[in-house]
Amino acid sequence: MTVLNINSNSIICVIQVLTESSSVPPKVSAALSAAEDARCSLEDLLQREQHISNMLHQHLQGAQAWMDNLGQTLNQVNTIEKHMKYLQCLQHIEELSAAVQQCLMTSSVWEAIRAVDSMAMLDTGLNQSGCSHLQDFLQETLHFWHKIIKDRLASEFEKLLTQLHWPIISPPTQSLTPTVNSHEITSQLELLVIQLLALQSSDDLISQRVLASSQSGPSTQPVSSGTHLSQAPPLCLPIQIMLLPLSRRFRYHFYGNRQTNSLSK
Q: What is the pLDDT of residue 229?
A: 44
d(CA 189, CA 100): 23
Concatenated DSSP letters of 103-124: HHHTT-HHHHHHHHHHHHHHHH
Q: pTM of the prediction? A: 0.65
Residue 231 has pLDDT above 80, yes or no: no
Q: What is the pLDDT of residue 142?
A: 94
Where are the extended beta strands (E) located within 94-220? Answer: none
Q: What is the pLDDT of residue 4?
A: 42
Tell me how long the chain is: 265
d(CA 40, CA 173): 123
Residue 154 has pLDDT above 90, yes or no: yes
Nearest by Cα to 109 from 145, 64, 81? 145
Q: What is the pLDDT of residue 163?
A: 86
Structure confidence at residue 253 as a pLDDT band (50, 70, 90) = confident
d(CA 221, CA 101): 43
Q: What is the pLDDT of residue 224?
A: 45
Nearest by Cα to 142 from 156, 157, 127, 158? 127
Q: What is the pLDDT of residue 203?
A: 85
pLDDT digit string, tens, across residues 22-79: 555 777 778 888 888 898 999 999 999 999 999 999 888 888 888 889 999 999 999 9
Q: How far is CA 244 from CA 148, 155, 165, 248, 260, in A?
A: 18, 12, 14, 6, 19
H or E element that contains 150: helix 132-163
Name the region of 13 (left: φ>0; alpha: ψ -120 to 50; beta: rest): alpha
pLDDT digit string, tens, across residues 108-137: 999 999 999 999 999 988 888 888 999 999
Residue 90 has pLDDT above 60, yes or no: yes
pLDDT digit string, tens, across residues 197-209: 999 888 888 878 7
